[in-house]
Chain A
Amino acid sequence: MHCWGAEVADLDDILANRRWLRRTMPFPHIVAREVFRDTFYTALANQLTAVVERRTEAGSRPPLRPIPGYDAYGGGFDREQEGPLGLFQTTAWRDLLSGLFGITPTPYVFAGTHYHAIGSRNGFIHNDCNPVWFPAAAGLSIQTPNYAMCDYKTGAGTAPGAEKVQVVRGVAMIFYLLNDGWQSGDGGETGLYDSADADIDCPIVRCPPINNTLIAFECTPRSFHSFISNRRIPRISIIMWAHRPKQEALEGFGADGLEQWK
């Protein structure tokens, strides 16, 4: 029996496909199919199924909650996420994604789930180039959000100001799973666009939510993307951001290039 802990150190053991496509249009991104070996994919799917179906205990936060302004449910993984889902909060995975796009790795990682019920409305075209907050970490070991100490979007919380750090989303990743039976025409793709004003139903690139497929891109002022309405089956994904130093983002994009939360 396989038992994957929070530190899945050797990616070579779990990656099934080491041919990932690097694309340039409409902005640089990576797409990979059949990402993980069957055993690891199955373990991920089983664990996420349990997360999605977990009943809320009295007084506790439900694992998935409606996302304000977005027709979807979402939730971050536990801070000390165990099992295969913990992969997305390891230094190995963060370094892989950061390295693909040449951003400076930081300890700051957000990983979680998005769930779009059948018939979810289109999202909106956005770029993810947002500044966010974390409790400051020592060294490069992984630090995930802690909303009580330091709200991810606003920085509000109990931690003293000197113990909070503002960083910027550097790489976004979407990994599709549990979308069994998806077919062309079902919707639920991630659309990629060359403009914030584009027709949301006419993306330059449609990334279909095929199980065990991954899309990743550097978050820049031009990384325009959106969820496209799903018509026949739910759309489920693991989402993750590896964050970069704010100074690096300012030098690359300027203050106006950062997308402030509305």
Chain B
Amino acid sequence: MSKRLCLLTGASGTFGTAFIERLAERYDIVAVHYRHEVMFASQDQIFIDPLDPSIPIGANRHPVRTIRADLANVAAIDRLVEEAGGGPVDLLVNAAAIRSSSPLLAYDALQHAETTIGVNVLAPLRLSVRLAQTQWRQCPDANVQSNRNIVNILSTTGLAVYEDHGLAVHAASMAALNHLTCHLASEFWDIGLRVNAIALDPFPDRATIDEAVDAAADLDVSARTGHVATFYRRARPPGGPQPSPS
């Protein structure tokens, strides 16, 4: 049985890395990265044992296909959709995000604002719409049959206010992505495509990330749409931020 095709952005980030680690066996993953490399076997890299490079390594059994793309660049998103190839995407995971942090009264408060909005909001929107235009819109029945869907990875900064951490722009972008998830779910329903989101604690521990990855996989096989699942770390760091209801 062939594996589902998953297009994963933010593949070298914390969530993306955990996603590949836990789910490379289940999906054919197109791993989209930009600034840093993906640390898994791919078309350009394999694991070796430094003490015996000739012996087979299990971690090479499920290589990902990596594509470097600057998601702040509109043309790069078009190229990405072309390069992803390999048939219609079954699962799009929008996990790329810029986590900029700057107090609004700082002299360079808005230095990264446009890029943050561009990567965190417009890129997942453009990628979703572009895939809908080029792949999904033509085959609603196949989308339903293959249970195709989108999972947006956002942060709980988009659901509650974390005071005094310089997260205003980042939080605004996450709130926008949260809202966008619901609108995408509503409109893509017409072409048989589900859209959900996972909101992660902005200071997650490993267990929380693993739970969120498993939740993404669960959403993929579910029938849900328009749902936002939240994952807060259980033990908050001493003196760490406490969310206030927005």
Q: How far is the CA of A119 from the CA of B205 in the complex (A)?
A: 30
Chain A residue contacts of B51, Cβ below 8 A? 11-12, 15, 18, 96
- Of residues 32 through 64 on chain B, the ones whose CB sits less than 8 Å from some CB of chain A are 35-37, 39, 41, 44-51, 53, 57, 59
B contact face: mostly helix, strand, loop, or mixed: loop
Q: Which of B35, B39, B48, B59 contacts A22 (CB under 8 A)?
A: B48
Please give me the residue from chain B that is nearest to A99 by CB atom: B53
On chain B, the number of residues with a Cβ less than 8 Å from chain A's Cβ atoms is 16
Please give me the residue from chain A that is nearest to B60 by CB atom: A19
Chain B residue contacts of A96, Cβ below 8 A? 50-51
Please give me the residue from chain A that is nearest to B45 by CB atom: A23
- Report yes or no: B37 in contact with A22, Cβ–Cβ below 8 A: no
Chain B residue contacts of A20, Cβ below 8 A? 47-50
Q: How far is the CA of A33 from the CA of B70 in the complex (A)?
A: 25
Q: In angstroms, how far is the closest chain A Cβ from the Cβ of B106?
A: 15
Q: How far is the CA of A31 from the CA of B47 in the complex (A)?
A: 9
Q: How far is the CA of A4 from the CA of B37 in the complex (A)?
A: 34
Task: Evaluate whether A19 and B36 lie within 8 angstroms (CB atoms) in the complex, with A99-B53, A100-B53 already known.
Answer: no
Chain B residue contacts of A22, Cβ below 8 A? 45-48, 53
**A103 close to chain B: CB less than 8 A:** no
Q: In angstroms, how far is the closest chain B Cβ from the Cβ of A37?
A: 14
Please give me the residue from chain B that is nearest to A25 by CB atom: B44
Please give me the residue from chain B that is nearest to A214 by CB atom: B50
- Report yes or no: B47 in contact with A19, Cβ–Cβ below 8 A: yes
Please give me the residue from chain B that is nearest to A183 by CB atom: B99
Chain A residue contacts of B50, Cβ below 8 A? 11, 15, 18, 20, 30, 32, 96, 100
Please give me the residue from chain B that is nearest to A20 by CB atom: B50
Q: How far is the CA of A99 from the CA of B50 in the complex (A)?
A: 9
Please give me the residue from chain A that is nearest to B49 by CB atom: A18
Chain A residue contacts of B44, Cβ below 8 A? 23-25
A3-35 Cβ-contact flags toward B at 8 Å (1 or 0): 000000001100100111111110000111100
Chain B residue contacts of A24, Cβ below 8 A? 44-45
**A208 close to chain B: CB less than 8 A:** yes
Among A19, A24, A32, residue most surrounded by chain B Cβ atoms (within 10 Å):
A19
Q: In angstroms, how far is the closest chain A Cβ from the Cβ of B187?
A: 33
**A231 close to chain B: CB less than 8 A:** no
**A117 close to chain B: CB less than 8 A:** no
**A196 close to chain B: CB less than 8 A:** no
Task: Evaluate whether A19 and B35 lie within 8 angstroms (CB atoms) in the complex, with A24-B44, A25-B44 already known.
Answer: no
**A206 close to chain B: CB less than 8 A:** yes
Residue numbers of A with Cβ under 8 A of B are 11-12, 15, 18-25, 30-33, 96, 99-100, 184, 205-206, 208
Given contacts A12-B51, A208-B36, 12 further A-B contacts (CB under 8 A): A15-B50, A18-B51, A19-B47, A19-B48, A19-B49, A19-B57, A20-B47, A21-B47, A22-B48, A23-B44, A31-B39, A184-B36
Q: List 7 A-B contacts (CB under 8 A).
A: A15-B50, A15-B51, A19-B47, A20-B48, A21-B45, A22-B48, A96-B50
Listed from nearest, the 5 A-B pairs whose CB atoms lie closest are: A23-B45, A19-B47, A18-B49, A20-B50, A25-B44
